[in-house]
Structure 1
Amino acid sequence: MFDDVKEAVLKFITSRFTVIALVMILAASGIMYRLFELQIINGESYLESFQLRIEKTKDIQATRGNIYDRNGNLLAYNELANNVVIEDVYESDSLRDENINETINKVIDIVESNGDTVVNDLSIQLDENGEFEFTVEGTTLLRFLADIYGHSTIDELAYKERTATPDEVMEYLGKKFEVGDRTDPEDKKSFVAGYGYTNDRFLKVVTLRYYMSLNSYQKYIDTTIAEAVSDQTVSDIMENSDILLGVSIEENTARKYVDAEYFALILGYTGKVSSTELAQLQADYPDMGYSSSDTVGKSGIEQAMESTLQGTKGSETVYVDTVGQVLETTNYVEPRSGNDVYLTIDKNLQEAAYDILESRLAGILVNKIVNAKTVSTTVKTSDLKIAIYDVYFKLFENTVIDTTHFTKDDAKETELKVLGVFNTKQEAVLEGLKDELMEKKTPYNKLSLEYMNYETYITTILRDNKVLVNEDTEDDTYITYTKDESISLYEYLHYAIAQNWIDITKLSLDSQYTDSEEIYEHIISYITDKLKNDITFSKMLYRYIIQADLITGRDCCNVLLEQGVVELEDTELNSWKAGNESAYTFIINRINNLELTPAQLNLDPCTGSIVITDVNTGDVLALVSYPGYDNNKMANGVDAEYYAKLRADLSTPLYNYATQQRTAPGSTFKPLSATAGLMEGVITTTSSIRCTGTFDKFTNGPHCWIYPGSHGELTVAGGITNSCNCFFYEVGYRLGNENGTYNSDKGLEVLKKYCDMYGLTEKSGIEIEESSPIVSTQDAVRSAIGQGTNSFTTVQLARYITTVANSGTCYNLTLIDKTTDSNGNLLQDYSATVRNTVDLPSSYWDAIHSGMRGVVEKRSDYADLNVQVAGKTGTAQERTDRANHALFVSYAPYNNPEISITTRVAFGYTSSYAAQITRDVYDYYYNVDAREELLDGSAQSLEGGGGGD
């Protein structure tokens, strides 16, 4: 038995199968051990040895510093926010662009369905007609075009690139990133950029693709699709992450602004850095590591204090593979928050001055609007009125009424009525224009005013769209049409065709070999197609619709109610529905309640500015520009719709009226002329000049504002108090006296010297963008009363009057009080510096101050003010068909000046209005008990409208 078992075992061991099995087991064991060694024991080191790993340093953005007012009130800050970002993890194959575009479109759908905004801050935006337009110009535009076409400098731009239109740039980018579709699915060559897209969506996708392309060599860097999105967007993106390749949610911070409309034009806003800005920042701050993905200050204090607010970036080492996938991150360095900036601005004073200005502008409008279809334009500018029909039209012209809503499914009864009237009018006018351009051929000067306006706009369209190009302004036919106006547009366009002034490539002609009549027919088709959807042309139609009573004032008011622009209390609503309230009363009530603001109506006056300074330090306490805007909608990815609305707004809210609008100073210039006259010895404090109402040293000499009256004998103080033109004409004349002969240039040089002493030859010193002053180079006599070509901003006049108030210290004004680190430790004090001093004998200052005090003492509206004010009114005429600009410069208290207030109301009729607005600001500042009444949220009527200068 044992032998049998032994024999079987030996037989098994020595069998061929057993040998093979043992060999296989040993081999498998060896392989398993090797695999264990490779993957478990030495796996990480072998992976690092054999996998291609690219080491990159990735920046981590710092939190931007806060901005405060002088009292520590927060004006700009950051809050945690979620951004939607996309990382370029797409394979480089034939479907790459299609896949990226599909993903971006899905993300845009999600973001916008939740009411969030897609980043859309390319230097191309949509105008109010939904057409592409550049938002930059000059060198900045050329730099943008150079970036688009891949050039390092603007000098490398080819002529075609340099002169590219927005449409051509969009077509180029659309083709580059394959944003569009084929018109024939079977034909690859039939691809058309933007095909199948609305202009709005086309722009958004191209913008995001362009920004992704800027990171083409750093694919691990995310591109932001939307900033500060809602929780619902976050949830939707995460739920769809399986189909949104490379898309994720990134935690970041969003810039926020407090009480935005009051401070937007001081603070500015932040945005993605442009190539021009980047080059400048890298040159100015080489150690701060600015890169193309950074967010920087785009305007205002945000831009001026960029390097202070920006902070120090952190970093981490990123290992990526060949397609940009992040494999590992190490060496994390914490970013350091930016420093905080404290302004000299007093938040409460700024807001109060803004509200006072707006309510008083509304009060002026209420006083000026009359219940009439037309008003006389031949009266004095201070007596001009506003017809209620002009108000109705402004509701359409400045898009208070949204005409695009008329075609929506939820359009209401009156909206549909107005749409029907408009469609009928548009059809009739287009047919009339076609008949005029094809059959009647009426000379321009024989047309009705309505059709003159239409044809003028047609030539504007042709020029703006570069259909009508290279016109020879010296050509006889050009002159005959544009100046003599004695030929028809039909004749002029045919002549333009013959002269090759028509770019036929814009007309979609089938062949370049066409005769002039065929070209002309295509021009007519082009014009008709453009006008059908042109918002500006539509607004022209509404003007004539309203004037012809095709829609009534009551219709306009009902549309305001239907669209929710205004709301009525039940009592007034019932009265309105019962027909007990007229359209005129309805509109006046809305203005009185500031439900319709001056800015919305864009009627004179609708803009203004106030600058308040501390006369003893040069600090700017308030810098008001009306109207303002919401910079929150500009900072965290531009809200393109809102930005388009701002650019189309006729009251130009993006324009800083305090720092950029220049007008003649008018009679506010007279204290300076008095200084020049006294210091140059052409007058003394006691010398007398007689005003007869006319300056008689010139034939047909200029008049005093009081003409046909006169002021009689005046000293310099009386000349200022009475704002006597003749007195200061004489001063200007004497300043130009050279050996008994009048020399205007000499007088201008002397005036310029004193302009420089008061800081009027340079910008004021404030840290934000400001227009350069213009000192008069024409007519010393008229320049001495603030006319000639003198032109200054409100803030420049504020520096001048601050110097007068403190008797000679001319500051470089400042908006910056100090900077601190994030812990509140002082870094730098930004006290205003002294530019120069104006050294005058005390008797000269006394005479000037006395004259300015006399100006205010003559005003009954300052009689009850509990502070003594000195000031000077000024009226500046810019156009004969619009009201004059109204100015008032002042300081208080008279005997011990603390603050100065400079007020300008553009097209504000009379300086008396500017003085009354200033009075109310003083009342707010010095009378706590009056504040509630001054800021009651309604229009405040101003007294009078004429008299004085």
Structure 2
Amino acid sequence: MDFSLLVIAACAVLAVALVVVFLVYGRSEGTFKFDIGGSAPRAAGGSDESAEKTFSSRLVGLAVAVGGVFTVLLGRLWSMQLVSSDEYAQQAESNRTRTVYTSAPRGRILDRNGEEIVGNRPSLTVVAESSVLDDEVEMQLLASLLGMPCQAVRRKIQDSSEGAQSARTVCVDVSRRVVAFIGEHPALFPGVSVQQRTQRSYPYGTLAAHVVGYTGTLTSDQLKASQESSSGVSYRSGDVVGQTGVESRYESVLQGVRGETTVYVDSSGTVLEESTSIAPQSGSDLFLTLDLNVQKAAEESLEKVIMQMRDKGYPASSGSVVAVDCTNGEVIAMASYPTYSPNMFVGGIATADWDTLSSEDANYPLLNRVIAGQFPSGSTIKPLVTLGALKDGIIDLSSTWYCTGWWNWNGDQSSNVGMNCWWKSGHGAVDIASGLTYSCDVVYYEIGKGYWYSSIDEGIQANFRNFGLGSATGIDLAGEAEGRVPTAEWKWNYWSNVPDEQRSWQGGDNCNICIGQGDLLVTLMQMVDAYCAIANRGTVWRPHVMKSVKARTGDGSVIQYKPKADSTVEFSDSYYDVVKRGMSGVIYEEDAVQARHWTNLDVKVCGKTGTAQRNTENPMGWFIAYAPADDPKYVIGANMDEVLSGATSAMYVVRDVFGAIYGQPDDYMVESTVADG
């Protein structure tokens, strides 16, 4: 708005006012007057309603109205020019400038020793300006060069999620041949260029896939949630963010700060020139607690043993393994099978690939079975039951039993109503330690019966919850399941379609959950956490995979994870001692062939096998152990679905992981013949 406009407006108002005044007053009595004498006749009681008088009044009203309108306009012009000039100047400036955003490289993900698990790599990317949409021939040529349908190219260029003035991504990771052809024929591809960007890189393919997770384009729901969040990280449509695993959990650390370039545009939005530019800043590097070598050993062993079981005729559909430092909760290795490669998600995953990764037929490769798989525990629950029964007075350190291989509630060996021990020929006389070593089910049926007649309400369940079962461990990964500790109330509500007698909690339900069967469900992470409590004689550290965040400059850390003790499971040392003896016997006494896999390891180990029946033809095998026995440092657990037993499957995986930690691989490959409860 120029000041000259105010002068012109003021003159216009003045001119109009003069015209109106002339019309009103210029028609009144002049200097010359025609007088015929006498006075003009006048009607009594009348008023002057002549046409001239009426016309004059109307002109006065019009003058006031016109003057009022122009006064308002003049006031508005004055306000715009003097009061709001800065505001309108800013609007004018914004109408001719735009901000173009540049994505920032994400921070790297490293193992505890600084080895790169996830990084970034350069990617040649074909981009196009929106004007290319107006040239059908150019789009067809570009589609043919890239090997894409023309409609797909059109949709890519129509996508303005990266910004109205930003170049639209058409194809990533193009070949040098494509780059050269576009560069040699600029006349054929106006508005098309090649940019060097960065893409996520997973140099080890599937390694630690379920821990690190994958990235993907921000969804509309995620964008809305970020706008409502107070995290301090701002996103725009089209941004690439972590979707699962560490990539998602530590998104605020890994996400960089996008670059910004201010450009001048014309009325049609065409970029004329650049103004100012701020370079993007990469995200911070994240150190994990994983040890790359141990992680490799865990994944290789898991797949190897599964393939061996399949060769023997067992489905061996899936499995998982996790190793934890029980002194601070650090996860040294975590693997789940079947697995996937996060590289599949770089640049967008194909629909067919997504369908495969999400299918039941493929056994859900995206599922992290360590934290999200829920299974009956089998006999790995027995150390927990033993400690709880001793504390609650259901048994004492001198308790003994006699196992014939058959048990019923009334002790009638001739009755047809009862339950078998897994070792149907019977274990004979057993005490607490040997009952645990040989996993005698009769011992735990008797404990379940003892709780039934005790005055302790749901004491078994309370003990399980004390060890953390039935709730998430709190590990810093999304998607953790809580498992299930069944109670009388739960059973009544869950089995609502059966007769009341069957819905009620029975003594047999006690016996079932004491051997890790029935409706009990746990995750491998929960069980390993519970064994950490046993190894530590009480202290339960929260498991975690984040170790530290590296500073953007220098070699220091800006964030260091502080281990957190979630709880303490308190039992008498004498109770822990008897359980330790029983678990040591599992390793060195239960079976001589099985023991050969452990006597070739310098450190002493305590562990427990488990075989859980499911709704499949073949059971689930478990094995959990800690070492060194006298000063525990590591707890390792593994499970495998649809195998013969834990001793013939999961045990080998745990042994291989200990071998990687201590540098002493298992060189005794004769397979154990023991089956376990």
Query: Which residue in 1 is equivalent to 2:510?
Result: 780
Query: Which residue in 1 is equivalent to 2:388?
Result: 676
> Which of 212, 229, 242 is matched with 2:159 structurally?
212
CA contact (8 A) 2:101 2:166 kept: no
CA contact (8 A) 2:539 2:565 kept: yes
Which secondary structure state, in structure 2, belongs to the residue aligned with residue 668 of structure 1?
Answer: helix
Map 1:298-697 to 2 at 5 A.
298-366=243-311, 368=312, 386=313, 604-639=315-350, 642-647=353-358, 650-697=362-409
Q: How far apart, in 1, do the equivalents of 2:254 and 2:93 lie?
A: 42
> Which of 880, 894, 898 is matched with 2:633 structurally?
898
CA contact (8 A) 1:270 1:636 kept: no
Q: CA deviation at 1:695?
A: 3.0
CA contact (8 A) 2:370 2:525 kept: yes
Which secondary structure state, in structure 1, belongs to the residue aligned with residue 365 of structure 2?
Answer: coil
Matched, 1:827 2:543: no
Q: Which amino acid letter does the alignment assign opposite residue 541 of structure 2?
A: Y
Matched, 1:86 2:147: no
Q: Which amino acid letter does the alignment assign opposite residue 926 of structure 1?
A: Y
Q: How far apart, in 1, do the equivalents of 2:399 and 2:192 lie?
A: 81
Query: Which residue in 2 is equivalent to 1:8?
Result: none
Deviation track 1:14-58 (CA, whole Å, cap 9, x = no partner) reads xxxxxxxxxxxxxxxxxxxxxxxxxxxxxxxxxx99999532233
Q: Which amino acid letter does the alignment assign opposite residue 298 of structure 2?
A: A
Map 1:795-806 to 2 at 5 A.
795-806=525-536
Deviation track 1:649-690 (CA, whole Å, cap 9, x = no partner) reads 624322222222211001101111112211211111222233
Which secondary structure state, in structure 2, belongs to the residue aligned with residue 774 of structure 1?
Answer: coil
> Which of 473, 476, 480 is matched with 1:770 structurally?
480
CA contact (8 A) 1:685 1:717 kept: no
Query: Which residue in 2 is equivalent to 1:397?
Result: none
Which secondary structure state, in structure 2, belongs to the residue aligned with residue 84 of structure 1?
Answer: strand
Q: How far apart, in 2, do the equivalents of 1:56 and 1:79 lie?
A: 29
Query: Which residue in 2 is equivalent to 1:283?
Result: 228
Residue 920 to residue 251, structure 1, CA distance change in 2 (3 Å): closer
Which secondary structure state, in structure 1, belongs to the residue aligned with residue 273 of structure 2?
Answer: strand
Q: How far apart, in 2, do the equivalents of 1:205 and 1:282 lie?
A: 30
Matched, 1:70 2:112: yes
Q: Which amino acid letter does the alignment assign opposite residue 399 of structure 2?
A: S
Query: Which residue in 1 is equivalent to 2:72?
Result: none
Q: How far apart, in 2, do the equivalents of 1:796 and 1:240 lie?
A: 61
> Which of 376, 400, 421 is matched with 1:704 structurally?
421
> How many residue pairs get matched?
554
Matched, 1:753 2:462: yes
Q: How far apart, in 2, do the equivalents of 1:798 and 1:61 lie?
A: 41
Matched, 1:916 2:649: no
Deviation track 1:253-289 (CA, whole Å, cap 9, x = no partner) reads 1110121212211111112111122222333355322
Query: Which residue in 2 is equivalent to 1:847?
Result: 578
Larger radius of gyration: 2
Which secondary structure state, in structure 2, belongs to the residue aligned with residue 261 of structure 1?
Answer: coil
> Which of 569, 593, 596 is matched with 1:838 structurally?
569
Residue 104 to residue 704, structure 1, CA distance change in 2 (3 Å): farther
CA contact (8 A) 1:338 1:821 kept: no
Q: CA deviation at 1:214?
A: 4.1
Query: Which residue in 2 is equivalent to 1:529?
Result: none
Which secondary structure state, in structure 2, belongs to the residue aligned with residue 912 of structure 1?
Answer: coil
CA contact (8 A) 1:665 1:790 kept: yes
Q: CA deviation at 1:627?
A: 2.8
CA contact (8 A) 1:67 1:340 kept: yes
Q: How far apart, in 2, do the equivalents of 1:90 and 1:232 lie?
A: 21
Q: How far apart, in 1, do the equivalents of 2:338 and 2:351 lie?
A: 20
Query: Which residue in 1 is equivalent to 2:144?
Result: 109
Q: Where does the alignment leave 5 or more consecutive residues of structure 2 unmatched? A: 1-89, 492-508
Q: Which amino acid letter does the alignment assign opposite residue 859 of structure 1?
A: D
Q: CA deviation at 1:70?
A: 0.6
Q: How far apart, in 1, do the equivalents of 2:143 and 2:155 lie?
A: 12
Residue 947 to residue 288, structure 1, CA distance change in 2 (3 Å): closer
Which secondary structure state, in structure 2, belongs to the residue aligned with residue 89 of structure 1?
Answer: helix
Q: Which amino acid letter does the alignment assign opposite residue 591 of structure 2?
A: R
> Which of 208, 222, 226 is matched with 2:171 structurally?
226
Deviation track 1:722-742 (CA, whole Å, cap 9, x = no partner) reads 211121122122223255xxx
CA contact (8 A) 1:360 1:941 kept: no
Q: CA deviation at 1:343?
A: 0.5
> Which of 733, 742, 750 is matched with 2:449 structurally?
733
CA contact (8 A) 1:360 1:942 kept: no
Q: Which amino acid letter does the alignment assign opposite residue 70 of structure 1?
A: R
Residue 941 to residue 652, structure 1, CA distance change in 2 (3 Å): farther
Q: Which amino acid letter does the alignment assign opposite residue 862 of structure 1?
A: A
What is the RMSD computed on CA atoms of the aligned residues?
2.8
Q: CA deviation at 1:784?
A: 1.2
Q: How far apart, in 1, do the equivalents of 2:280 and 2:100 lie?
A: 12
Q: Which amino acid letter does the alignment assign opposite residue 609 of structure 2?
A: T
Sequence identity (%):
30
Deviates more, 1:859-868 or 1:236-245: 236-245
Q: TM-score, normalised by structure 1?
A: 0.55
Matched, 1:60 2:7: no
CA contact (8 A) 1:694 1:702 kept: yes
Which secondary structure state, in structure 1, belongs to the residue aligned with residue 206 of structure 2?
Answer: helix
Q: Which amino acid letter does the alignment assign opposite residue 731 of structure 1?
A: I
Map 1:171-186 to 2 at 5 A.
none
Query: Which residue in 2 is equivalent to 1:556?
Result: none
Q: How far apart, in 2, do the equivalents of 1:942 and 1:247 lie?
A: 63
Q: How far apart, in 1, do the equivalents of 2:622 and 2:577 lie?
A: 23
Q: CA deviation at 1:633?
A: 2.5
Query: Which residue in 1 is equivalent to 2:58?
Result: none
Q: How far apart, in 2, do the equivalents of 1:265 and 1:252 lie?
A: 26
CA contact (8 A) 2:327 2:541 kept: no
CA contact (8 A) 1:673 1:732 kept: no
Q: Which amino acid letter does the alignment assign opposite residue 732 of structure 1?
A: G
Residue 797 to residue 231, structure 1, CA distance change in 2 (3 Å): same
Q: CA deviation at 1:244?
A: 3.9
Q: Which amino acid letter does the alignment assign opposite residue 208 of structure 1?
A: K
Residue 51 to residue 781, structure 1, CA distance change in 2 (3 Å): closer
Which secondary structure state, in structure 2, belongs to the residue aligned with residue 736 of structure 1?
Answer: helix
Q: How far apart, in 2, do the equivalents of 1:206 and 1:725 lie?
A: 67
Q: How far apart, in 2, do the equivalents of 1:207 and 1:888 lie?
A: 52
Q: TM-score, normalised by structure 2?
A: 0.76
Residue 49 to residue 310, structure 1, CA distance change in 2 (3 Å): closer
Q: How far apart, in 2, do the equivalents of 1:767 and 1:647 lie?
A: 23
CA contact (8 A) 1:78 1:254 kept: yes
Normalized per residue, the structure richer in helix is 1
Query: Which residue in 1 is equivalent to 2:676?
Result: 948
Q: How far apart, in 1, do the equivalents of 2:93 and 2:196 lie?
A: 31
Query: Which residue in 2 is equivalent to 1:812?
Result: 542
Query: Which residue in 1 is equivalent to 2:591?
Result: 859
Map 1:115-126 to 2 at 5 A.
none
Q: How far apart, in 2, do the equivalents of 1:103 and 1:879 lie?
A: 59
Which secondary structure state, in structure 1, belongs to the residue aligned with residue 207 of structure 2?
Answer: helix
CA contact (8 A) 1:814 1:831 kept: no
